[in-house]
Amino acid sequence: MLNPTDERVIPTKDIRTHENHQQILASTVLDILYKEEKPANTLALMAITEKDLFPSENWNYVFGLASYTKRIGVSSIYRLQNSKLDSLNFDLCLKRLINISSHEIGHMFKMKHCITAHCVMNGSNGLHETDLSPNRLCSECQKKLQLARGFDLQKD
Ligand SMILES: [Zn+2]
Ligand SMILES: [Zn+2]
């Protein structure tokens, strides 16, 4: 368990105001995590933030971002609850967070967007698509992960 990264370490040039709230440049979070938090023996590192993220100037927002090479990622819960987070929408928010984080972790293992099947590696253009996405890999992506990591599908 890592200590929360203090948002004061985010340079002000990487914070913008969008639709009356603050957003953080997602790649900056990855850079800070890589420099300050990732232990050498870590397989993958996923940060969770309550702040809204954006990937670049001309995008409105992004649910998450991962590095294909550094095995580091960040997911935001900012847009995952339909209203203020409470006991009624907690499960739905958690299901979305698991889905988005699983997708980003797939990217950390060099997996691209899946276009062949109903799969957690499908791209998502909004919560309606995230809600339709299964929290698992299709058999083809599972095979790719197996090849990349060299694990035994029967045993692991
Ligand atoms: Zn993706
Ligand atoms: Zn797939």
pLDDT, tens digit (0-9, with 9 covering 90-100), for 34-83: 888 777 788 889 999 999 999 999 999 999 999 988 899 999 999 998 77
Q: Which residue has the higher pLDDT, 2 or 95?
A: 95
Residue 79 C-alpha to ligand 1 middle, in angstroms? 16
Q: Which CATH number covers residue 130?
A: 3.40.390.10
Ligand closest to the CA atom of residue 133: 2
| Catalytic site includes residue 36 | no
From 19, 57, 104, 140, active-site residue: 104
Q: Which residue has the higher pLDDT, 115 or 150?
A: 115
Extract the tokens encoding 115.
């276009």
Ligand closest to the CA atom of residue 137: 2
Ligand closest to the CA atom of residue 26: 1
156: in domain: no
User: pTM of this prediction?
Assistant: 0.84
Residue 106 C-alpha to ligand 1 middle, in angstroms? 8
Residue 98 C-alpha to ligand 1 middle, in angstroms? 14
Long-range CB contacts for residues 77-86, cutoff 8 Å, separation at least 24: 77/48, 77/49, 77/50, 78/49, 78/50, 78/51, 78/52, 78/53, 79/52, 79/127, 80/127
81: in domain: yes
Q: Which domain holds residue 138?
A: 7-149
State how many domains the chain has.
Answer: 1
